[in-house]
Chain A
């Protein structure tokens, strides 16, 4: 049987290549996801090890200065502690003090930020203390060390990106108050960071005194202290020695401990990327499975006489099944191998894509673990063989006597049973969705997701039945094409399973695209509504990714003529009852003018001193009401505050609002996230605007927006994500198109004699091509219509499920969805090109006399 199998494979190269392509894409995604995350993880390990000391001393619950989403706290370690450690820790080879501050951005020659999207940008003092790798964290690569506040070194990547050479003056955007945070310094050298790259992070190096002067008002303080062990002293011993010396508000930790914490944080951060990618791999494989089932079903149908002959000659049912399975194994093997190779192209493509939406990542040499190969082969071969199993089993049931008959019908499992199972799965899915709507939060959304999966698969099973009316309506649309249209419709109806399976692949892709469209459109509508209803301010100054910026900007804006008032919003997460909530600190009087809050209980006027106003939902979760006192756990301290008001969900306010005094007491670094500006009604809008532009002109971390632009900035984020998802789902659609090509090509071969007959009785090549094209359009539009209808339902249900998380306006983008269906029709035309040409080229005489 093996030789017969191989010969079959070789005789059908093109068809198999088409179906193997689905496997190739799916496996490429699986392998590529793993290669990508492994590579990222390895590059990051390099950074972690290069920046971890034998023992580090830091303030308790220190915040990571490299985290760009928060301003961090302002707690420091006095120089006395450094001196004490140097004098009293015998196991330390050396003890060095570090001053590290986040959110220090390099501005390039064109006035734009270098990096700043994702990877952190920070400033440190220069010291050559070694990390656990034994190498100094920093070393001078070119030029010399900086001395004094006017001099800096940059890492090579940043200097290159920004286009600065030694001796140039470099503008920096920081969080410090003066001059709206903008500093200028002369580049004195290029610093080398450990051994590896910085993964897109930017590094600005001052001398120690300059760091203290700029960021800590000249106090002789450090943010953390590194201890390097003498030979023969373990990390643990050194830690214990250090711990005995330091005051109780500081913690000493071993390098291993620090490194593993950083790695955990990182793994968590990138796990979202790998889950995201694996979801798409899953979609590609599900769609591919349909394609393979279909291809094998058709191949088996066409070969049924040959298989029956094998049976008549004495091959057992098992041998026939095995022969078909062996074919699928070989296709899976070849497809997976090509897929793995293609997987190596994914990480560079992905980094390019992420760079296009503003996330900088640099990849070192790609990491390929055996686990990646094993999983990729298991998935690729497994999926192919599972997909081939059903047709294989059906093949084995062909009666030997069929070899002698003229026309063979393959035994088909009853369509009624399939319909019943499909209906049950759909009902089950609908049930999950309903439960999800009743449930709340993440669990509700998860249930809805499960429901969506069930409905998708159920409808795919039902599609031979539900597809029929759609095809009949399409047939009516094809009427102007006369007999050609009628033949195309009939052809699409003659094998409902085949048409349905082919359309299902497209259906799944389009259902997901339509779901995302509805959600995206609803998100945009919700943003518009949110801005219109909640914002009274005329202008907003903010950072595109929500990173904090210097309070000096608000101060300068308030001095512009025609500005009535200015209110800053400083955001920070905080733990209450071990739950993290996001909110911010404001000057209540100014802020109330800018934001239209709907106060449900208490009054925002009472917001002063140790008080807090809570979002009503958050207040419910915390079990707090007006008059209660709650504890806010900041990294450095705990603040007890009294609840003075609760308000209706308001994105401009977040989950909580406190006066600035609470953040000051908590030692949160003062840095603004949003600055709201109200114009004097009598002032000229153009003049005020252009004066305000002058304030932010030199500070590329922030921009000035009116209400509409502010909304658009949010929407741009939504749309960016949407297009990323569209791009990835495009893959599923490519696979689906291949499926249509495959099905049509196989159908044309199967109907060779019919084609010959049609040509003999006078159908022109043009008409024949049109017939194939219309059938292709029918399949594509069927998939698109089913997909879009389901996608709208899914989108609406998901929107309802997460309506309380800010997505409170439903908006269905009808025009865009109609365009999707039109695109699908066009895709149908494209898919028909090859099969139609093939049909038209058939020699009439040979076709009509073919066996």
Chain B
């Protein structure tokens, strides 16, 4: 890591940490508190889902943890590195070398082949890929025969698997996936989620996924529930039914609080 560890309080085994994180948009009457004092540890070698109703702050939390957005107050650590005060160049380097991304849509550079897309972060950094690891990843996502194809020659599921391979190929400290299956049919969804699962189990990677889909959440080790910018609950070894149940109550309570506020 380029930045020496400045805070020894982050224990080993925590891939990313947020401490009392707040994010406020606008000011005065238009003020919106997207995050309202979130404290969370994301364990290494774990598959974590972040869930919550729309507007609960789950995407904002992910953006702040992934060094894509600045928080209003509070602290964020990726590994042992505090993000506070890092320059844009340092943040870019951090994203490049230590964080993997899978987005919901528009995940690939249309002018590059699948292989080039997968190797993009390494190529940008000017590093040579670890061939053995590359082969492992490619075979795991099952893309060997698609490497020379361009994104517009592949299905949505294939594209998303390319994105997953790209997120993993540089062996990042943590992979963030923002609704990775939002645009996929159920078969493709299964493939992508299964692959992320294997990345954790077989390769010891750390994956954090934002989703509102209980079925997707059921693939994970741990589900963190957010509402109104706060962590309201978490669940270990989730299954789809329990998650769905929990989501329903969250949505109901949000509905009642909204009506109570009269907003």
Q: CB within 8 Å of B: which residues of A?
A: 482-484, 486-487, 490-491, 493-494, 753-754, 757-765, 767, 844-845, 848
Contacts and interface: CB of A to CB of B under 8 A. Distances in A.
B159 to A, nearest CB: 12
A758 B96 CA distance: 10
A765 B88 contact: yes
B173 to A, nearest CB: 13
A753 B120 contact: no
22 contacts: A482-B123, A484-B124, A486-B123, A490-B111, A491-B111, A494-B110, A754-B109, A757-B108, A758-B124, A761-B96, A761-B121, A762-B92, A762-B97, A762-B121, A762-B124, A763-B92, A763-B124, A764-B93, A765-B89, A845-B69, A848-B103, A848-B106
A758 B109 contact: yes
Residue with the greatest number of chain B CB neighbours at <10 A, chosen from A490, A759, A761? A761
Contacts of A765: 88-89, 92
Contact of A487 (B68, B92, B112): B112
A491 B112 CA distance: 10
Contacts of B123: 482-483, 486
Contacts of B95: 760-762
Contacts of A760: 68, 95, 101, 103
Contacts of A762: 92-93, 95-97, 121, 124-125
B103 A757 contact: yes
Nearest to B119: A483
Determine the main DSSP class of B at the interface with A.
helix
Interface string B103-134: 10011111110001000110111100000000
A757 B125 CA distance: 15
Interface string B71-103: 000000000000000001100110111000101
How big is the B interface, by class? 20 to 34
B63 interface: yes
A493 B125 CA distance: 24
A121 B120 CA distance: 74
A761 B69 contact: no
B110 A761 contact: no
Contacts of A493: 111
B166 interface: yes
Contacts of B121: 761-762
Nearest to A765: B88
A166 B86 CA distance: 80
Interface in B30-84: 63, 68-69
Closest 5 CB pairs of A and B: A762-B96, A490-B111, A483-B123, A764-B92, A845-B68
A287 to B, nearest CB: 28
A156 B184 CA distance: 88
B101 A761 contact: yes
Interface string B185-227: 0000000000000000000000000000000000000000000
B68 A761 contact: no
A367 B96 CA distance: 65
A754 B151 CA distance: 13
B106 A486 contact: no
A483 B124 contact: yes
A493 B107 CA distance: 20
B112 A490 contact: yes
Contact of A486 (B101, B103, B116): B116
B148 to A, nearest CB: 14
Given A758-B109, A761-B124, A763-B92, 19 more contacts: A482-B124, A483-B123, A483-B124, A484-B124, A486-B116, A754-B106, A757-B107, A758-B124, A759-B92, A760-B95, A761-B96, A761-B166, A762-B92, A762-B95, A764-B89, A764-B124, A765-B89, A765-B92, A844-B68
Contacts of B112: 486-487, 490
Contacts of A767: 124
Interface in B132-191: 166
A765 B88 CA distance: 9
A767 B110 CA distance: 18
Contact of A482 (B92, B110, B126): B126
Contacts of A761: 95-96, 101, 120-121, 124, 166
Contacts of A848: 68, 103, 106
